[in-house]
Amino acid sequence: MLDPMSRQLEGRAAIVTGAGRGIGRGIALVLGNRGASVAVCDLDEQNAKAVAEEINAAQGKAISGLADVTSKKSIEEFTARAISEFNAIDICVANAGVIGAAGYTERRDYTDADWDITYGVNVRGLVNTAEAIIPHMAERRYGRIINISSHGGRAPAGVSTGRGTVGMPYSVSKAAAIQWTHALAIKLGKFDINVNVVCPGKLWTPMWETISMQIHLQDPDMADLTPREVFDLQIEKDVPLGRPQTPEDIGRAVAFLASDDASEITGQALNVNGGTRMN
């Protein structure tokens, strides 16, 4: 059921990319719970439909569809549909992301394919998503763009840990997402469009399961552990608050940045990581 005490997004409408599972699903559900109409898109159209149905079943309002953020035409078409369905889009959450190319879990070092896919989705995908919505928001002189990066974009990861360099393209792409946010915030401020980025920490999602599988297979000290046990060990070792984050934790941060309470916040990168990295 919708929470009557947390309706700060009542009357707003949002697009969330990569919303079929994991962090994107959590963001979409929280925005719907807070009163926003939500356009849920994903490469997996059935997953997107299931998330929209969850929102609608909880007395919210949502539509769903397929969108490939690496294709300008695809994200532009979905954005136009969302604007038509909801009359306006106030919030754009560019969440779609990948960690590496096929076979990531079996490799110690990155390949050209890892660079290509992380750049295509994690960098160009953010640019394509923003460029699809900016003309609409600029014309209305209102908007909230929230990009999803990672605290892995804050400092090198997977380089000096003894597990090879397979995570380097991902970390570099997430650093680029933060820089893109800073630049876009400066560019769009004159249109009253706020642009911020959320940097999640460690969540037990399909993406972090693949990271744990990679560690499990490549680190002899972890060989006897399951991927979930590897993940739990990382939490115990690295997170001051001693617990993993959840997709809903990220969703609540996004909801705040999308709300009027954050009207004077732009160009900021917010860690939601239990204190793992404090910059």
Name the pairing type of β-strands 91-94 and 143-148.
Answer: parallel
Evaluate whether 101 touches 117 at the Cβ level (below 8 Å): yes
Instruction: For residue 145, give the DSSP letter.
Output: E
List C-alpha distances in Å: 112 to 59, 102, 121, 166, 279.
Answer: 46, 12, 14, 11, 30
Give the integer Cα–Cα distance in Å for 266 and 194.
5
**Candidate list 104, 119, 142, 170, residue with the active-site label:** 170
Query: What is the signed CA dihedral for 89, 17, 246, 229, rounded to 10 degrees?
Result: 180
78: helix, strand or coil: helix
Q: Which residue has the tokens 């969440």?
A: 95
Nearest to 193, CA basis, from 150, 149, 139: 139
Evaluate whether 203 touches 247 at the Cβ level (below 8 Å): yes
**Would you call 142 a catalytic residue per the annotation?**
no
Catalytic sites, residue numbers: 170
